[in-house]
Amino acid sequence: MLGKTLEHTVPLYVNGSHNTVLWPLSTTDTNLMKHRVKELAWTIVDIKDIQPTVRFDAILDDRREANRKVWDDNVISRVLDSHMDRILHWEDRQQWLTTIAPARLT
pLDDT along the chain (106 residues), means of 10: 95 84 94 96 97 95 90 95 94 79 52
Contact indicator for 96, 59 with CB cutoff of 8 Å: yes
Q: Give the long-range contacts of residues 6-11, CB within 8 A, separation 24 or more.
A: 6/46, 8/43, 8/46, 8/47, 10/43
pLDDT on residue 87: 94
Give the pTM: 0.86
Cα–Cα distance, 40 to 80 (Å, whole number): 9
Spatial CA neighbour of 83 closest among 61, 103, 54, 50: 54
- The CA distances from residue 45 to 27, 65, 83, in Å, are 23, 31, 8
pLDDT on residue 106: 39
Name the pairing type of β-strands 12-14 and 20-25: antiparallel
pLDDT on residue 48: 97
Contact indicator for 92, 86 with CB cutoff of 8 Å: no
